[in-house]
Amino acid sequence: MSREQRAMIDARARQPRPVGAPSVEDIRAGFRALMAEMIVPDGIRTSAAKLGPRPALCVEPVDGERAGTLLYFHGGAYVFGSPETALSLTGNLVTRTGFRAYSLDYRLAPEHPFPAAIEDTVDAYRALLDSGTDPSSIAFAGDSAGGGLSVTTCLAVRDAGLPMPAAIVAFSPGLDLTRTGESMDTKAGIDPYFTRESLAHTGAMYMAGRDPHHELLSPAVLADLTGFPPMLLQAGTNEVLLDDSTRLAARARAAGVDVVLDITADVPHVFQSFAGVLDEADEALDRAALFLTQRIRA
């Protein structure tokens, strides 16, 4: 573990930003530029795919593919991001597990607010099942908003009477649009990326006037997780969304769900993206891969 690596990433994340609320176009362009700097591992190939009505990026290992499928949901506050911006994460999970991944290009707000993204993720899972893929060989995974989708999709899947996937892996998931976690205040200023105001800006686009007190918007405080598959929640101590993970883990334990709460010190939101630069990122991805290979059954 390297204090210098963590300090470098923190400083990089704190570079000055434009004053005022940025436009959707500016947010999306800035995120594309940020994620283009991340290291995508060798040993993968990508191809265009479709799951239900939505396009997806299929990410496969070049050598030694194992039977198993990751359905991946990219981050971006439900407003920005794409399968391409998440490729460092999906690529690293694929190379570490040997599983194929489908990274879904779900619809984004404000053009398509809640619940469009969840409709798309459920349709994608249904398409995998309809193709003959066994649910015990599928895991949901995602980062940030996509980590939230890995949980809310399971809620919607259960309500639809579909079989549950084998596991969930969520990197720094966003799980509470009520923004009532203590870390929203205790980590203010420590988090190099987010403020309460910036999260309110994008959150309003996604909710489009809906009350955040809904289990599909704030599962960390409202969801019944009965019957959920095993979950791995990874987060860093330097993020305002930390308590989204800690509170969901508590709800999971109360519902009798196997859950691993994996908190890394002094790292920011979705620190796993810095694989190849930050030792803690590679170590966390190794733990995620072990969790997945232990739970996915061919």
Average pLDDT over residues 110-128: 98
269 a catalytic residue: yes
65 a catalytic residue: no
201 a catalytic residue: no
Model confidence at 179: pLDDT above 80: yes
Q: What is the pLDDT of residues 269-294, one digit of tens each?
A: 999 999 999 999 999 999 999 999 99
pLDDT in the model for residue 13:
81
In the structure encoding, which two tokens stand for residue 161, read together?
């009477």
**Confidence band (pLDDT; 50, 70, 90) for 81?**
very high
Model confidence at 15: pLDDT above 90: no
Residues 6 or more apart whose Cβ sits within 8 Å of residue 261: 233, 245, 246, 249
Residues 6 or more apart whose Cβ sits within 8 Å of residue 137: 67, 68, 69, 166, 296, 297, 298
Residues 6 or more apart whose Cβ sits within 8 Å of residue 203: 77, 177, 179, 212
Instruction: Single out the catalytic residue among 82, 88, 144, 245.
Output: 144
Query: How confident is the prediction for the chain on average, in pLDDT?
Result: 96
Determine the Cα–Cα distance for residues 274 and 251; give it in Å rounded to an integer. Answer: 29
pLDDT in the model for residue 286:
98
**Confidence band (pLDDT; 50, 70, 90) for 3?**
confident
Instruction: Single out the catalytic residue among 172, 269, 273, 280.
Output: 269
Average pLDDT over residues 134-161: 98
Average pLDDT over residues 141-169: 98
Q: Which residue has the higher pLDDT, 93 or 8?
A: 93
Q: What is the pLDDT of residues 208-241, one digit of tens each?
A: 999 999 999 999 999 999 999 999 999 999 999 9
pLDDT in the model for residue 1:
53
Determine the Cα–Cα distance for residues 261 and 259; give it in Å rounded to an integer. Answer: 6
Instruction: Single out the catalytic residue among 103, 119, 150, 239.
Output: 239
